[in-house]
Amino acid sequence: MAKKKRARAKGAKKPARKPAKKPAKKPAKKAQSKKPAKKPTKAKAARKPARKAPPRRPEGPPPGPPQMPPEMLLMQGLFGFMLTKGIGVAATLGIADALKGGPLYYTDLASVVGANQRALHRVLRMLAGYGLFAEPKPGTFANNAVSELLRADHPHSMAGMVKMICGESHWQPWGMLEHTVRTGRSGAHHAFGEEIFTWFQKPENKGEWDVFNDAMTSMSLGQAPLIAASYDFARFRKIVDVGGGHGHLLKQVIAKAPNAQGVLFDMPDVVAGADLPGNIQREGGDFFARVPEGADCYMLKAIIHDWSDDHCRKILRNIAGAMDPGGRVLLFETVMPEEPGPHPAKFADVNMLAMTDGGCERTPTEFAELFASAGLQLVGITPLPDGWTNIVEARKA
Ligand SMILES: C[S@@+](CC[C@H](N)C(=O)[O-])C[C@H]1O[C@@H](n2cnc3c(N)ncnc32)[C@H](O)[C@@H]1O
């Protein structure tokens, strides 16, 4: 125990030292270098930005802490919620949809989306400065690869996910993060007095539940084709998507397994809202009580990370008891690296902390232990090229 504590304390010092040293050196060198004085020839001046241009046109923020002075890095962290709210407002106003036809000056854009001109300009200039929209000329805004994802009609639209993260179901629990860290109970518990899925089921929260389900589909738009193309589903006879939402993933998977029967299993009101082809049947139920019998493939996307180990064991034991002996369990999850360093799973994990009682992103070791405790055995983990999704495969032990 003492060793672990020391190791952690050492690890914690490193990131604090690095940004303090590097930025302090770099600007100093640049300031003293003679390079600015050597700019006279036009050819040289023209060549230089051309070489530097590609890394300066990011499609999103670079992974990991930016190299900047400590004060600015701290401010960047504090500014984070302003980006979140700004993105949320841009999605709600439909800015990316309005820019579909090309760039617009902010006054024109304001009248298209029904916003105050100056206020809209100020928010968009902040977002564009961070690379979330383009601003080709001062005050003129255009879509870039990031803002395109906010369009409702984009094939991989993330507009639903944005509305959920920026909506009440998430904003209120996140406002309770201090209570969560002090007590270990979810922000949903502190904000709503109950577990998030119970809260979602109340008739008065139907609007937020719809937003949640749209967000799940929106996340699947990009993941589903990737998953369907990355695994040999054609070898299965019966594929059950446990907690499969509205069936977006299962439809793509079944298209790759023409001889398989699909079963969409989720809560009754969720499967009732799904639009399904003839080779997928719907089944409403509670995965803590049972799952459909006799399949050779059970898929669970973004399910296991919602729940504590005890809850997950119940779901996985139900599957182990229901599956064909040679069958497979496929989890599609982000995987927490065992090592320190930047990774989106570390954000997703705190989201699980804020939103759920016991949900978390798990390391390969934790997945292996969880499977073993439920009568299953980890076969392997395959990371997909989106940098987020992994296929975590298991079979009966
Ligand atoms: C995070 S969403 C994932 C949905 C889908 N797999 C996806 O990735 O788009 C969790 C899903 O679990 C379902 N769910 C929650 N509790 C459940 C339960 N006790 N029994 C069955 N499904 C449940 C929810 O309705 C929701 O569709």
Distance between CA atoms of 390 and 374, rounded to whole angstroms? 20
CA–centroid distance, residue 301 to ligand 1 (Å): 9
CA–centroid distance, residue 298 to ligand 1 (Å): 14
Higher pLDDT, 33 or 348: 348
> What does the pLDDT read at residue 49?
37
Smallest Cα–Cα separation from 170: which of 350, 302, 48, 35?
A: 350
Is 196 within 8 Å of 168 (Cβ atoms)? Answer: no
What six digits make up the tokens of 211?
A: 């937003």
Instruction: Tell me the pLDDT tens digit for each residue of 270-304.
Output: 999 899 999 999 999 999 999 999 999 999 999 99
CA–centroid distance, residue 353 to ligand 1 (Å): 17
Nearest ligand 1 atom to the CA of 287 is 20
Instruction: Determine which one of 154, 189, 248, 305 is catalytic.
Output: 305
Smallest Cα–Cα separation from 180: which of 339, 374, 18, 353?
A: 353
DSSP codes, 293-332: SS-SEEEEES-GGGS-HHHHHHHHHHHHHHS-TT-EEEEE
Distance between CA atoms of 381 and 101, rounded to whole angstroms? 42
Residues within a 6 A CB radius of ligand 1: 197, 216, 219-220, 243-245, 266-267, 270, 286-288, 301-303, 306
What's the mean pLDDT in 90-105?
97
Higher pLDDT, 109 or 38: 109
Query: Looking at ligand 1, which residue's alpha carbon is closest to its atom 27?
Result: 245
3-class secondary structure per residue, 207-234: HHHHHHHHHHHHHHHHHHHHHHHHCCHH
> What does the pLDDT read at residue 208?
94
Instruction: Tell me the pLDDT tens digit for each residue of 8-22.
Output: 333 333 333 333 333
What six digits make up the tokens of 147?
A: 């803002």
Least confident window among 1-5, 64-68, 121-125: 1-5
Query: Looking at ligand 1, which residue's alpha carbon is closest to its atom 4?
Result: 245
Query: Looking at ligand 1, which residue's alpha carbon is closest to its atom 3?
Result: 302
Instruction: Tell me the pLDDT tens digit for each residue of 241-275.
Output: 999 999 999 999 999 999 999 999 999 999 998 99
Nearest ligand 1 atom to the CA of 286 is 20
CA–centroid distance, residue 119 to ligand 1 (Å): 38
Q: Tell me: pLDDT of 125 over 60.
A: yes
What's the pTM? 0.79
> What does the pLDDT read at residue 222?
87
Nearest ligand 1 atom to the CA of 241 is 6
> What does the pLDDT read at residue 29?
36
Distance between CA atoms of 367 and 373, rounded to whole angstroms? 10
Q: Tell me: pLDDT of 231 over 60.
A: yes
Q: Tell me: pLDDT of 5 over 90.
A: no
Q: What single letter denotes the amino acid at residue 165?
A: I
Distance between CA atoms of 313 and 241, rounded to whole angstroms? 17
CA–centroid distance, residue 266 to ligand 1 (Å): 6
Distance between CA atoms of 63 and 75, rounded to whole angstroms? 17
Choice from 198, 251, 270, 356 to test ligand 1 binding pocket (greatest atom count within 8 A of CB): 270
Confidence of residue 217 (pLDDT cuts 50, 70, 90): confident
Query: Looking at ligand 1, which residue's alpha carbon is closest to its atom 11?
Result: 243
Distance between CA atoms of 20 and 175, rounded to whole angstroms? 30
Instruction: Give, for 242, the enclosing helix (H) or strand (E).
Output: strand 238-242
Is 332 within 8 Å of 299 (Cβ atoms)? Answer: yes
What's the mean pLDDT in 43-59?
38
305 belongs to the catalytic site: yes
Choice from 239, 242, 286, 287 to test ligand 1 binding pocket (greatest atom count within 8 A of CB): 287
Q: Tell me: pLDDT of 390 over 60.
A: yes
Instruction: Tell me the pLDDT tens digit for each residue of 326-353.
Output: 999 999 999 999 999 999 999 999 999 9
The superfamily CATH assigns to domain 171-396 is: Vaccinia Virus protein VP39 (3.40.50.150)
CA–centroid distance, residue 283 to ligand 1 (Å): 13
Query: Looking at ligand 1, which residue's alpha carbon is closest to its atom 19?
Result: 286
Distance between CA atoms of 39 and 47, rounded to whole angstroms? 11
> What does the pLDDT read at residue 65?
62
Smallest Cα–Cα separation from 300: which of 353, 195, 351, 376?
A: 376
> What does the pLDDT read at residue 219?
86
Fold designation for 78-154: Arc Repressor Mutant, subunit A (1.10.10)
Residue 196: half-sphere exposure toward Cβ, Cα within 13 Å: 25
The C-alpha angle 343, 346, 350, rounded to 5 degrees, equals 160
Q: Tell me: pLDDT of 23 over 60.
A: no
Smallest Cα–Cα separation from 281: which of 289, 290, 271, 273?
A: 271
Nearest ligand 1 atom to the CA of 270 is 25
What's the mean pLDDT in 46-71?
53
Query: Looking at ligand 1, which residue's alpha carbon is closest to its atom 20?
Result: 286
Is 281 within 8 Å of 272 (Cβ atoms)? Answer: no
Residue ranges per domain, the chain?
78-154, 171-396
CA–centroid distance, residue 393 to ligand 1 (Å): 19
Instruction: Tell me the pLDDT tens digit for each residue of 142-192.
Output: 999 999 999 999 998 999 999 999 999 999 999 999 999 999 999 999 999
